[in-house]
Amino acid sequence: MTLLLCGPRGFCAGVDRAIQIVVLALKKYGAPVYVRHEIVHNRYVVEGLENQGAIFVKDLDELPETEQPVIFSAHGVPKSVPERAASMNLKYLDATCPLVSKVHKQAMLHERRGRHVVLIGHKGHPEVVGTMGQLPEGAVTLLETEADVDAFVPPAELGLGFVTQTTLSVDDTAGVIARLQERFPEAQAPSAESICYATTNRQEAVKAAADGCDLFLVVGAANSSNSNRLVDVALRSGAKEAALVNTAADIPYATLPKAGPLTVGLSAGASAPEVLIAGVIDALKDRYDVTLELAQTAIEDENFMVMRDLRDVPLTADDMAFVNGPA
């Protein structure tokens, strides 16, 4: 088997920062630390943080009276959430990815300039809920497809501006944007690209590796938008089969040819830790004679700092070993 390992893959800077915030908060304030929703879309990460003393809740009203902090997830939250936390006298730490926050600011800028905001994204995704919640009700219209664009009737008295969810398929989104600009040439684009660098880089690496693969594996969770998009990209880019796997236990061996040399691609969504990727590689090596090749299309060196309140807390390799593996 030739195993094509994509790079970049796995954790992005925003996910890494969010997980660090929970770990550092536990070290500074002790357990428990509360987290509203999954900090990132990966059960392995969530369970690892639970083992360290994090408690995950769906809503702030589930919290007991406490002086312990509550952390908001990397996907971002509506403005009503920190307002509610303040009214409950809760200490909160916002782990929203800075690139998601940038989309929030772009949407608010459109609205301040008298534009109705179009958000291209997936209904119900936490990031979409958070972005729409930055503006008054009715100020944002969510569009998912080109058909949605065709059916869209904007408010007559306002201009238009658009932003996108950060984790979409670059190619799919380009089609929706093109259709939007064809129908509404006056629609204003955001001042900077909304789809984040990590999403784009991972999709480009998959495109480079997928053609001719008998199977393309993406390590990631079923509720991870960017991971699902990598599966789509692999299939469109020439992989014969593609599958999303949580762990090595999910590898669909039955889809592989029974004889002959095999080519398998491997990538991971931005919420998937390196330890799970290593587990998939080890499982394939246990079953096949594997030649490992790197399909590298970009180098990422971005680093998003945690908030000032946590910068005085030391972070060691052992603190992050549950996601990165032993140092």
Return the active site residues: 127
What does the alpha-carbon distance between residue 241 and residue 249 come to, in Å, rounded to a whole number? Answer: 17
| Tokens found for residue 31 | 């357990």
- At residue 253, φ and ψ (nearest 5 deg) are -60, -30
Q: In sequence order, what are the residues at sequence separation of 6 or more whose Cβ sits closer than 8 angstroms to the Cβ of residue 135?
A: 107, 108, 111, 117
Candidates 44, 46, 196, 188; CA nearest to 121 is 196
Contact 180, 187 (CB under 8 A): yes
Q: 101 burial class (0-12, 13-18, 19+ CB within 10 angstroms)?
A: middle
Buried b / exposed e over 104-141, threshold 16 CB at 10 Å, is: bebbbbbbeeebbbbbbbeeebbbbbbbbbbbeeebbb
| Phi, psi at 301, each rounded to 5° | -130, 20
